Amino acid sequence: MNPRMLRRRCEERLREIELPVPFNAASFCDALAARRGRPIVLRSVVARGGPFGVWVPTPNKDYIFYERETSKWHQEHIVLHEACHMLWGHEPTPITAPELAQLLVPSISPTTVRLMLERRSYPEEQEHEAELLATLILERVGGIGASDAQGRRSEPNDPVVRLEAILDGGRVRNRD
Amino acid sequence: MISDVLANGPALVAWAAVLYKLSARRRSPDDPAAHPYLWTLVALASALTVLAHPVYVTLDRLAGIPNLARLLGHGFIMLTAWNARSTLSYVNYPFEEARSRVRHHGAILVVALVFMVVLFGLAPVDEETIQFMSRYATAPFILEYWLVFLGFLGVALFDIVRLDLAHAERADNPSLKLGLRTVALGGIVGLGYVANEGLYVLGRQVDATYPLGDKDMVTTVLVAGGTSLMIIGSTMPAWGPVVGIPAAARWLDRYRMLRTLYPLWIDLYRASPEIALAPPSSPMKDALSLRDLNVSLYRRVVEIRDGLLTLRPYVDPRVREDAIALGRSTGLAGDELVTVAEAVTVAAAIRAKRRGHAAADGGLVAAAPADSDLGAEAAYLTRLSRAYRSSPVVKMMLDHTENADLDGGLVQQGTRRP
């Protein structure tokens, strides 16, 4: 699929999705779980390379494993990427019960995790669908600029805050 | 025609600003600095009005005192400077301290005005002229008159520019930041006016030739430019959002970040091509893609993060330790040292991955700011990329390890990072 068609498909899909407020990966998964009627459990693991997240369905719930040793924001993106596989209805490679049991043990070695995750990739087109949809969702709820316009200072005696209030004539604050 | 607009236009702009402020005054904050700000605009509008040619001539005729409008205009300019300085003093210092400063400057203003009135009265400036400066530059008492006026104005403008730039530096709101910088630029043009007039009047005492051609035109341009910039700048926080200054500033921020992230991103892509959703275009084409910056920046940040994770098996913790030691020896400290050390670690890991030199179980790279949002994340990676591309420590470390590799015979030919 060419990038333009992929983008269009993702934007169409995005319009059908209701985004929870306040938004984060966990609240998004909660809403998705409620719609699917199956709980989603988020678990961090250390894989040190390879895929950074994986969706593991079991008979009565879905697990999303994500890389622990990366930034908070990156983790949000990884979880959302896996949730987007669910939204698209992609078919995950099944996992055996002993493998899952191993993944749930906190002391599992990164190498074992990596080897398990490496076998669980999707066709490239599905990866792109999940990746772009996750991007568009996070971009919509709080791209750059959601935080930069919020004054970092709320101290009313700060010279800059006062100067701003005086120069803009005490206009009702409605920052762009 | 142009000189008419330049000579009379700023007065209209100033009155428009006064009306605008008055209409917003009901909603003005109850701040002691708000009053001097309004008076700054009123005094400036008054100065520019009495100095506008038709008003100048009419006023003098009605009063029966030639060139009285000049004295009045200068007085209003000094009032403007005092009020502008008071506004910044009230904002900048605790109330008591600000008030004593304002009073102190006010006392100097009164003394200066008294001097100027006396000198003006003593000076033989009895013939009406709008070219007051060139006509009377060598008249008795006029040099003293100008030195008092320009001295007061120069000191006040210098203080205004200084405080203004300090506040602009700390401002987050783009309209305020750009506005304050515009005011400062106006102040600098004002200082240019002070220097121009001062040097001219001194030069005339010794019959020096004025080097810039039409002196009156230069004065008109400096006055019109300086005052307009100050009015435009000081009202910008109010109208900036309407004309889209915050949006433009955000766009520019994102664009700059994308550019700065490019070198790190492209090297990570070359080391791990699977990170990119869309393969990179040429650097030129990348620099020219101006649309959809939000999504582009989002992709670049997430792909850099993915790329950094793929490097982990190639991270050698000793490289970071060496980089910290080297960075410290070159005088780096704090966040900067940490960022540079991470950049070295990343650069070494990229090279190791290209050469297939995996190291043990891999270490962490580029720990992120806690609870980061996209803005903080992008800002952090931007700093990392900047260090990666241009820190001399990164280059020194790479050269150093390259040589060590060569000595150890691990690689046959050194290849530099492109």
pLDDT at B407 over 90: no
Inter-chain touch B31–A74, beta carbons under 8 Å: no
User: Could you tell me the strand order of the sheet in which A53-57 lies?
Assistant: A40-45, A62-67, A53-57
The answer on pLDDT for B384 being more than 80 is: yes
Chain A contact probe: residue of B23, B91, B231, B274 with most A CBs at under 10 A: B91
Instruction: Return the pLDDT at B385.
Output: 95
CB contact under 8 A, A151 and B173: yes
Pick the range with the lowest mean pLDDT from A5-9, B26-30, B83-87: B26-30
B111 has pLDDT over 70: yes
Distance CA(B29)–CA(B24), nearest Å, equals 10
Whether B47 has a pLDDT exceeding 50, the answer reads: yes
Q: Please give the Cα distance from B184 to B368 (Å, whole number).
A: 37
pLDDT band at B74, cuts 50/70/90? very high
Distance of residue A176 Cα from the nearest chain B Cα, in angstroms:
7
Q: What angle do CA A140, A143, A147 make, to 5 degrees?
A: 125
> pLDDT tens digits for A112-127?
777 776 666 678 888 8
- Does residue A42 register a pLDDT over 60? yes
* CA angle (A67 as vertex; A61, A72 as ends), nearest 5: 105
User: How many whole angstroms separate alpha carbon B41 and alpha carbon B31?
Assistant: 17
Per-window interface: A 81-120 vs B, CB < 8 A: 110-111
DSSP readout, B325-388?
A: HHHHHTT--HHHHHHHHHHHHHHHHHHHHHHT---TT----SPPPTT--HHHHHHHHHHHHHHH
User: Average of pLDDT values for B134-161?
Assistant: 94
Cα(B318)–Cα(B367) distance, integer angstroms:
17
3-state secondary structure of A175: coil
B265 closest CA partner among B389, B352, B359: B389
CB–CB of B176/A167 below 8 Å? yes
- Interval A29-40: pLDDT, tens: 999 999 999 999
Q: Which of A48, A132, A159 sits opposite B92 (nearest CB)?
A: A159
Q: Which of A71, A151, A152 sits opposite B368 (nearest CB)?
A: A71
Of A52, A146, A151, the CB nearest to B309: A52
Mean pLDDT (chain B) is: 87
Q: Which has the closest alpha carbon to B168: B153, B195, B188?
A: B188
User: Is the CB of A143 inside 8 Å of chain B's CB atoms?
Assistant: yes
User: Under an 8 A CB cutoff, do B297 and A144 touch?
Assistant: yes
Residue B91, CA distances (Å) to A34, A164, B35 in order: 53, 10, 12
A159-167 and B34-51 helices, crossing angle to 10°: 50
CB–CB contact B171 A164 (8 Å): yes
ipTM over 0.90: no
**Contact in structure between B414 and B351 (CB atoms under 8 Å):** no
Residue A98 tokens read as 């002993």
> CA of B54, closest CA in chain A: separation in Å?
31
Instruction: Write the CA distances from B238 to B22, B164, B172, B247, B280, integer angstroms.
Output: 13, 17, 15, 15, 41
Residue B406 distance to chain A (closest CA, Å): 28
DSSP string computed for B210-278? PTTS-HHHHHHHHHHHHHHHHHHHHHHHHHTTTTTHHHHHHHHHHHHHHHHHHHHHHHHHHH-GGG-SS
Residue B368 pLDDT grade (very low, low, confident, very high; cuts 50, 70, 90): low
Rounded distance between C-alpha atoms, residue B118 and residue B414, angstroms: 81
Would you call A138 and B374 a contact, using CB atoms and an 8 Å cutoff?
Answer: yes
In this predicted structure, the answer to whether residue B366 has a pLDDT above a threshold of 70 is no
Considering all CA atoms of chain B, what is the largest pairwise distance in Å, rounded to the nearest integer? 97
Closest chain B residue to A50 measured between Cα atoms?
B310
Confidence at residue A176, expressed as pLDDT on a 0 to 100 scale: 37
Whether pLDDT at B417 is above 90: no
CA B86 – CA B73 distance, rounded (Å): 20
Helices assigned H by DSSP within chain A: 3-16, 25-36, 72-88, 97-103, 110-118, 124-142, 159-167
Q: Is the dihedral of CA B270, B340, B251, A9 positive or negative?
A: positive
Write down the mean pLDDT value for chain A.
80
- Best residue of B160, B295, B310 to probe chain A, by most A CBs closer than 10 Å: B295
Q: How many contacts does A have with B, using Cβ atoms within 8 A?
A: 167
Question: What are the DSSP calls for B79-145, one per residue?
Answer: HHHHHHHHHHHHHHS-HHHHHHHHHHHHHHHHHHHHHHHHHHHHS---S--S-HHHHHTTSTTHHHH
Nearest chain A Cα distance for residue B232, angstroms: 11
Identity of the highest mean pLDDT range in B207-216, B272-281, B365-374: B207-216
Name every chain A residue with its beta carbon within 8 A of the beta carbon of B170: 159-160
Q: Does A73 touch chain B (CB under 8 A)?
A: yes
Higher pLDDT: B27 or B4? It is B4
8 Å CB contact of A147 and B373: yes
A130-144, B94-108, B358-372: range with highest mean pLDDT = B94-108
What's the token pair of residue B413? Answer: 């030919």
**Residue A144: pLDDT band with limits 50, 70, 90:** very low
- Decide if A160 and B24 are in contact by the 8 Å CB cutoff: no
Which residues are bridge partners to A41 per DSSP?
Answer: A63
Given a cut of 60, is residue B275 above it in pLDDT?
yes
H or E element: which one contains A63? strand A62-67
Q: What span, in angstroms and rounded, lies between the C-alpha atoms of B199 and B202?
A: 5
pLDDT at B361 over 90: no
Q: How confident is the model at residue A169, as a pLDDT? A: 60
Q: Quote the percentage of chain B above a pLDDT of 70.
A: 91
Is residue A149 less than 8 Å (CB to CB) from chain B? yes
Give tens-digit pLDDT for A61-113. 899 989 888 888 888 899 999 999 999 999 887 777 887 887 787 777 777 77
Decide: B355 and B391 in contact? Cβ < 8 Å: no
Residues 6 or more apart whose Cβ sits within 8 Å of residue B137? B143, B200, B201, B204, B205
**CA separation (Å) from B1 to B6, B9, B326, B332, B409?**
9, 11, 65, 58, 79
Rounded to the nearest angstrom, the minimum Cα separation between B15 and chain A is 16
